[in-house]
Amino acid sequence: MNAIWGKKIVLGLSGGIACYKAAELCRLLIKAGAQVQVVMTESAAQFITPVTMQALSNKEVFTSQWDARASNNMAHINLTREADLVLVAPASADFMAKLLHGQADELLSLLCLARPIASCPLVLAPAMNREMWQHPATVRNVAQLSRDGAHVLGVGAGDQACGESGDGRMLEPEEIVQEVARVLTPPTLLGRRVLVSAGPTWEAIDPVRAITNRSSGKMGYALASAAWRAGAQVTLVSGPVALPAPRGVSRILVESAKQMHEAIMAGAQQHDVFIATAAVADWRVKDFSAHKIKKTPGSAAPQLEFIQNPDILASVALGERAQAHALYCVGFAAETQDLARYAHEKRLAKGVPLMVGNWGPATFGLDDNELLLVDEHGSSTLPKASKDELAQQLVAEIAQRLPSFFQL
């Protein structure tokens, strides 16, 4: 279950053209399972109507501190006492300046100030002109709000409504949802550095042909996202896939198994956890043809000679950091038969504490999966679910195992 499911979120809108994005943001939060209560400033209502936000949230929108619907006339208190998080998107330069100084002259700033700080985090998604974003006053305000405990998100870059271009655009709704999920996720990997490999490899035969497999990279990308949401600093080494880089994750793109091996070996010793999710080709063509191999009528098929690719997981597991119990290695075994037996054998052969087995043909390219976890104590199953949900469960399993592993 995702971190947003069942949460009560107050979505605040301060004045700015980015209010148009709040409609999609509200929809995505509800789609993720949240209950959304919208609160708007008078300025925000100049850009998008309360009627729109009410229709999307299915709740009456609050716009005034003098709203008499609350029996005690204290909407600024009532709205946050059961809330799990307050999200202000867009957060204008003026609104953030008010928060910094504790000014509370309208409902949204009032409830931000009156919220229970320990149980109701505040997330701010800034939106403003590039000059406003770079102004020393704004820079100081953002830094101090962060020190005061607010989660101030970054901004996007690009064309702005004023006709200029640069930093200051509010993040896209999908990005903000990811950031909210991170704030609501227990930081079980805070301070940890996680390296993930994902996707297939592409072993070239000639400039237009290659040997590859059906891996989509979805499981590895989901794991990278889940580790980031759990507080980790994540590096993702990815083979050729049709997926965007996960939010907050540093991605290194490679093609061949040899390139993946080089990239991972270069960074493995600077990480605490290595999750080898990639479906790496076991062999590559010995002699790459510099030009396309041509077919002529009646000609025989080319005879290809193969050589074995480096074993990435075994190489990392035999490294100094892993041998000193400072790098926790997790392998993946995609099989077509005898899953439990092969996963156990592979764990022992690679010398890793945890092997994750799955049925390759039943998961490649799909959005769901079923995992078999194999360690020195035996095996357990993570039942079929979406890859995002399984990634959260697997990250939780890994986080739980780390303290005892590093103490050995």
The proportion of the chain whose per-residue pLDDT surpasses 70, expressed as a percent, equals: 99
What mean pLDDT comes out for the span 21-47?
A: 97
Instruction: State yes or no: pLDDT of 407 exceeds 90.
Output: no
Distance from C-alpha of 241 to C-alpha of 264, rounded to nearest angstrom = 18
pLDDT of residue 68: 72
Does 249 share its domain with 129? Answer: no
pLDDT, the chain, mean: 94
Which of 295 and 136 is assigned the larger pLDDT? 136
pLDDT of residue 1: 55
Does 75 share its domain with 204? Answer: no
Instruction: State yes or no: pLDDT of 261 exceeds 90.
Output: yes
Give the model confidence (pLDDT) of 312-365 as tens digits.
Answer: 999 999 998 889 899 999 999 999 899 999 999 999 999 999 999 998 888 888
Does 204 share its domain with 268? Answer: yes
**Would the pTM count as exceeding 0.75?**
yes
Sign of the torsion angle spanned by Cα atoms 322, 233, 393, 372: negative
Domain CATH code at residue 254:
3.40.50.10300
Q: Residue 2 falls within a domain, yes or no?
A: no
Domain-terminating residue out of 167, 184, 201: 184
Q: Which of 109-113, 180-184, 361-365, 403-407 has the lowest mean pLDDT?
A: 361-365
pLDDT of residue 66: 82
Do the bridges between strand 122-126 and strand 85-91 make them parallel or antiparallel, or are there none, so unpaired?
A: parallel
Instruction: State yes or no: pLDDT of 408 exceeds 70.
Output: no
Domain CATH code at residue 59:
3.40.50.1950
Q: Count of domains in the chain?
A: 2
Q: Cite the DSSP H helix spans in 89-129.
A: 93-100, 107-114
Domain-terminating residue out of 184, 216, 240: 184
Distance from C-alpha of 327 to C-alpha of 271, rounded to nearest angstrom = 7
Give the model confidence (pLDDT) of 213-243 as tens digits.
Answer: 999 999 999 999 999 999 999 999 999 999 9
Does 162 share its domain with 224? Answer: no
Does 373 share its domain with 333? Answer: yes
Does 228 share its domain with 370? Answer: yes
Domain-terminating residue out of 146, 166, 184: 184
Distance from C-alpha of 221 to C-alpha of 235, rounded to nearest angstrom = 11
**Catalytically active residues, by annotation:** 162
Under the banding of pLDDT at 50, 70 and 90, the label for residue 73 is confident
Q: Residue 207 falls within a domain, yes or no?
A: yes
The proportion of the chain whose per-residue pLDDT surpasses 90, expressed as a percent, equals: 83
At residue 272, φ and ψ (nearest 5 deg) are -100, -25
Q: Residue 331 falls within a domain, yes or no?
A: yes
Does 363 share its domain with 319? Answer: yes
The boundaries of the domain holding residue 116 are: 8-184
Instruction: State yes or no: pLDDT of 28 exceeds 90.
Output: yes
Give the model confidence (pLDDT) of 132-188 as tens digits.
Answer: 999 999 999 999 999 999 999 999 998 888 888 889 999 999 999 999 999 999 999
